[in-house]
């Protein structure tokens, strides 16, 4: 069976007054980013900000489009070295938190039709505390589950097998799934789970750590 993926675009309604208000809160040099749902807005937003005397950096990373970021790839943000801050067009905080943690720069979030928000030091601190808790659970766990998604683009069986080989003094089990139901964790004795699928899963349960956070 062939699987066809069609990129979804968020239908956004906003006017130039929105961008005027946003521009007032941004520094002179700004890096522009977006999740794929809003990628079609980047060029328009860039032009509008430049009309308001902003210097805008729109860099291409490992993903398909300029300015596009993923939970596991914020390389366009890292390339915007001269930017004083970064503006992410999208929803939710996960991507913005990754950008803030890796660039150490102020990160603003804007979803069209919503107010401009910003990642705060408290947001970063809370996220880091949760990650530390998850890592402690992993270090003290006797039984580990390794999560493997069957979704195209996330399936990483080889990576999971390599992780299992590296884990010492712990029992490691492979868990294969399409859609993860966290309630199913209660049916198993694993105290910690290593995620090889979508990085966003770490937001759902402090028993989950991403494979790149591993401490063997």
For 183, counting Cβ atoms within 10 Å of its Cβ (0-12 exposed, 13-18 middle, 19+ buried), the class is exposed
Q: Structural domains in the chain?
A: 16-119 (3.40.50.11850), 123-213 (3.40.50.11860)
Q: What's the pLDDT at 199?
A: 85
Positive or negative: CA dihedral 72, 129, 204, 193: positive
Task: Tell which residue, 197, 192, 198, has the closest CA to residue 215.
Answer: 192
3-15: pLDDT as tens digits: 555 566 666 666 6
pLDDT digits (tens, 9 = 90+) for 37-80: 899 999 999 999 999 999 999 998 888 889 998 877 889 999 99
Confidence (pTM): 0.79
Annotate the chain with DSSP letters as a single string. Answer: ---------------HHHHHHHHHHS-SEEEEEE-GGGGGGHHHHHHHHHHTT-EEE--B-SSSSBTB-BTTB-HHHHH-TT-SEEEEESSSSHHHHHHHHHH-S-EEEE-TTS--EE--HHHHHHHHHHHHHHHHHHHH-SEEEEEEE-STTT--HHHHHHHHHH--SSEEEEEEESS--GGGGGGS--SEEEE-S-GGGGGT-TTEEEGGG---
CB distance 122 to 96 below 8 Å? no
Q: How confident is the model at residue 194 (pLDDT cuts 50, 70, 90)?
A: very high
Distance in angstroms (rounded) separating the CA atoms of residues 39 and 42: 6
In this predicted model, what pLDDT tens digit does every residue of 77-112 receive, in sequence order? 999 999 999 999 988 788 899 899 999 999 999 988
């Amino acid at each position: 069976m062939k699987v066809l993926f069609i990129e979804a675009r968020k239908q956004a309604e906003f006017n130039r007054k929105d961008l005027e208000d946003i521009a007032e809160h941004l520094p002179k040099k700004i890096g522009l980013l977006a999740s794929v749902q809003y990628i079609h807005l980047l060029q328009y937003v860039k032009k509008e900000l430049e009309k308001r005397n902003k210097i805008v950096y729109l860099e291409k990373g490992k993903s398909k489009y300029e300015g596009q970021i993923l939970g596991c790839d914020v390389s366009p943000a890292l390339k915007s070295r001269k930017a004083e801050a970064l503006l992410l067009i999208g929803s939710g905080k996960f991507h913005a938190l990754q950008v803030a943690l890796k660039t150490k720069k102020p990160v603003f979030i804007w979803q069209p039709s919503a107010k401009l928000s910003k990642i705060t030091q408290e947001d970063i601190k809370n996220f880091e505390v949760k990650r530390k808790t998850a890592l402690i659970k992993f270090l003290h766990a006797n039984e580990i589950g390794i999560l493997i998604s069957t979704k195209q683009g996330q399936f990483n069986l080889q990576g999971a097998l390599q992780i299992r080989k590296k884990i010492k003094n712990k029992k490691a089990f492979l868990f294969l799934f399409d859609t993860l139901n966290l309630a199913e964790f209660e049916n198993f004795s694993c105290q910690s789970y290593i995620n090889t699928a979508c990085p966003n899963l770490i937001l759902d349960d402090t028993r989950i750590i991403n494979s790149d956070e591993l401490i063997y």
